Amino acid sequence: MLALSSRLLDELNLAEAAKAEAEWTPDLVPSQLVNAYAAANVEAVVDYVSEKGRTSLETAPADVIAASKWQYGRRPVAFLPLTERVLYRAVVATLADDLPFVPRGKEAYRSFQRRALIAQGATHVVTTDLANFYSSIPTDRLVSELVDRTGRWEPVEWLRDFWLHAADGSNGLPQVSQPSDLVAESYADELHRRLLRRNVRAWRWADDFRFAATSANDAYAALEIFDEEARKLGLTVNERKTRTQTIAEYGKSLDAGAERLQKITKEVAADLTDFNPYDDSIITPSEAQVQEGAAEAILEYWRKEKSTGQGRLDLLAQMELASLLRHSLSILEVLARPSAIEHCADILQSDPQLTPQVVRYLAALSEAEQGGVRSAARYIIENIPLNRWQRLWFLDLYSQANLAPVYDREVAIPWIESNLTDTSEVLRSSAVWALSMNWTLTQDQWNLVTGSATSLGTPWLSAGLLNSSGPIDQRDTLLSSDKLARGVYNWTKTWDPFPPPF
């Protein structure tokens, strides 16, 4: 039961929450189609959410898909309907002034990483974090922490119901959510304060911790205290990501990636610099040429390491290589260069956590290099066993107006259709939208998914009617029963994302 009292609902800034939710682009998953509608129709979304907020939101628990993390482990990503996401963001915003402020951005993160290096008398640094932090936070303890901090029982009680609903009665917060990030800071901050009270020199970034120690024994003692205090809060130390290094080793690990990138960039710039014998002038390359050359050099470096076996690299070297590869893909995406297309399948097999970067790169090239992108995508879906999270990304790719896999009826279209019966509603609904974007969605397929749809999937399904007539009775039932679905349907009719290929 997620209805809000009139008093609490009147306090919420739904317009600000709806705008922020529509504009937020998560790194880990594709943005939901309904976000684009919300960005263009904030007022209509606010009216809809306000109406729903005054009643009981009887929706299903979050649809959870596990995203791949580097080398090992998975991160459960919770997909929630737009209404719940807007209300969640708006309610948390009423508490924000009393929650810990944490600076964000690359510079703030670099500062966090280096704090232990300048700690007086430190000889060792401990790097560690919490295992499954968001999923492990005990709801009751978090509620008590938030009430103590804010003195606001009513919004916190609504949040308790929301979290229990989203997690189907279990503990934990929905991941890949800015409101969850803000609230989780309070719980991690409590752990941090307990460490400081026990004289552990600790610094924190979200659930990542660094300890400065005066000896190896001091580092071991700090870890003992960390484990003890974490368990008191219902949390667990991530042993696989815990390591102790000397100050010199830790500093070297921080600088290794940047130094290698700088070295590669300088070498490329030197190679591209030329001499004009006619006027004795030096021809210097442009910044774009240097960046492209560095990105391609990284790909070559990665390819050589892969061919000789990455098993010979230590853990830090493997992390450095993955970071460089991410940088290379980002540069080539911005410059729209096809250099990495032939490597995409191998990248997914060796570094599946880079799936978002691979798909975004292919999407950026889908117009200029449609043939190469289509061939790469076809090879990937035909030869690589993709998990649900990766399939979601490729469904998003196949929804791009420039890709048009309709011409690949032998592999691409059947692969999209295979997702129509998945147990994940997000996958089923995304498959409907991908088929619609390629003018192959049938009435039976639309009916198959619509029959089990909740408010999470209906925006995709209503938009899917764009390129499919759909059975009139089913269509009218959907559109007449849900104002948001009707709004998305009418909005989609106003744009022409992909002309029919006939």
pLDDT in tens, 206-255: 999 999 999 999 999 999 999 999 999 999 999 888 999 999 989 888 87
Hey, what amino acid is at 103? P
Burial of 311 (0-12, 13-18, 19+ CB in 10 A): exposed
Residue among 405, 322, 386, 385 at smallest CA distance from 357: 322
Q: Please state, in angstroms and rounded to a whole number, the distance separating the CA atoms of residues 203 and 220.
A: 16
- Strand-pairing partners, residue 275, are 282
**Distance (Å, rounded) from C-alpha 368 to C-alpha 333?**
12
Percent of the chain with pLDDT over 90: 58
pLDDT, tens digit, for every residue of 32-76?
999 999 999 999 999 999 988 888 666 678 999 999 886 667 889
Quick one: pLDDT at residue 502?
44
Distance CA 500, CA 144 (A): 56
* Cα-Cα-Cα-Cα dihedral sign, residues 383, 388, 390, 393: positive
The span from the CA of 439 to the CA of 205, in Å, is 46
pTM: 0.91
Cα–Cα distance for residue pair 333/327, rounded to 1 Å: 10
**Token pair belonging to 415:** 């692969």
In whole angstroms, give the CA distance from residue 43 to residue 284: 52
Q: What is the DSSP letter of 120?
A: T
pLDDT of residue 406: 57
Q: What b/e string do you get for 325-335 counting C-beta neighbours within 10 Å, with b at 16 or more?
A: bbbbbebbbee
Alpha carbon 404 to its chain's center: 25
3-state DSSP of 293-305: HHHHHHHHHHHHH
- Type of residue at 373: V
Helix (H, G, I), strand (E, B), or coil: what is residue 445? helix
d(CA 419, CA 410): 16
Give dist(CA 405, CA 477) in Å, integer: 31
How many helical (H) and strand (E) elements, i.e. helices and strands, does the chain have?
Answer: 24, 8
3-state secondary structure 100-117: CCCCCCHHHHHHHHHHHH
The pLDDT assigned to 407 comes to: 60
DSSP codes of every residue in 241-267: G-EEEEHHHHHHHHHHHHHHHHHHHHH
Which residues in the chain come in under a pLDDT of 50?
Answer: 501-502
Query: Cα–Cα distance between 299 and 328 in angstroms, integer?
Result: 7
